Structure 1
Amino acid sequence: MKKNIVIIDDDEAILRSLKRLLSTNNHVICFSDPLSAIEYAKQNPISLVICDLLMPAVSGFAVLEDIKLLQPNCSRLLITGYAELEASKSALNNNIANMITAKPWDNFELTMLVDILIENSHLKLNQCLENVSS
């Protein structure tokens, strides 16, 4: 069964590249508008959200915080340029993101990271379901 991945980036080339890379085993939905992605998250289950840090309308931190509130079991990957990596560490420390990766990325490493984050998301969801049924 394919998992839902939401990708948010203001750069259309990044969206196309990530969609091409990750669509083989997943259902990938891309948004250049972060607010549309948040609206999507209100209505649809998501296994993983991949979000750029620097966007014109709203920061990736804010987007990931909103999605975390809407879907707490969804894994969150912050993707950013090398220059912002140091500043992005606070997203990990504050549990806004589960992982951070840099642009440009290595395809093999990113696909492995995506698989791990999706598995983590489903483990959290299953644990929540078990706790509810107990």
Structure 2
Amino acid sequence: MENAKLEPLTLAIVDDEDDILSALNRTLRKQFNVMTFSTGQACLDYLQAHNVDILLSDVRMPHMDGFELMAKVKTHDPNIVRLCFSGYADMEACHKAIDEGLFEFIIAKPWDNFELKQLLKVYAENIRLRQQIKSMTSAN
């Protein structure tokens, strides 16, 4: 592989709490191009014109919950890695949503910043590998 500097992947974060969005932005902005949204609809509007590699959303939000958002994102672009934040009260519903393919992983609230960074690093590496394979196969 070339030594060219790779552009950071785009991580969209959706949560109705501004403090959580700010904390996650501060924690992850060195690893990712972070976009934050306080509503699912704002995120969907952004996706109409922009690419996102990873979507991290809270489950409990007014107007459009994380399950509905993930279903719409999956329909829009099934290649976006979809991850959810959830409190323990919602874990059973989250496990069912994973079984249905709405999202790939549940991050329990409150989260550990180190563990979150490591988890996102694994997903980012997988995305990069898929991009490399795609570029290699399209070049042949």
Flag structure 1 segments of 5+ consecutive residues without an equivalent.
none
> Could you state the TM-score of these two structures normalised by the residue count of structure 2?
0.86
Identify the range of structure 1 (12-21 vs 78-87) with the bigger mean alpha-carbon deviation. Answer: 78-87
Higher relative contact order (CA 8 A, sep 6+): 1
Displacement after TM superposition at 1:132 (Å): 6.4
Flag structure 2 segments of 5+ consecutive residues without an equivalent.
1-6
Displacement after TM superposition at 1:42 (Å): 1.6
> Where does residue 62 of structure 2 map in the other structure?
56
Q: Deviations over 1:65-124 (max 9, x none)?
A: 111222221101110112111221011101111111111001111001111122333444
Identity %: 31
Cα distance in 2 for partners of 1:45, 1:81 equals: 28
> Where does residue 94 of structure 1 map in the other structure?
100
Cα distance in 2 for partners of 1:49, 1:55 equals: 15
**Aligned positions of 1:39-50 closer than 5 A:** 39-50=45-56
Which protein has the larger Cα radius of gyration, Structure 1 or Structure 2?
Answer: 2
Count how many residue pairs are aligned between Structure 1 and Structure 2.
134
> Could you state the TM-score of these two structures normalised by the residue count of structure 1?
0.90
Cα distance in 2 for partners of 1:84, 1:69 equals: 23
Structure 1 residues 110 and 77: alpha-carbon distance in aligned structure 2, compared to 1, 3 A threshold? same
Displacement after TM superposition at 1:130 (Å): 6.2
Cα distance in 2 for partners of 1:125, 1:67 equals: 20
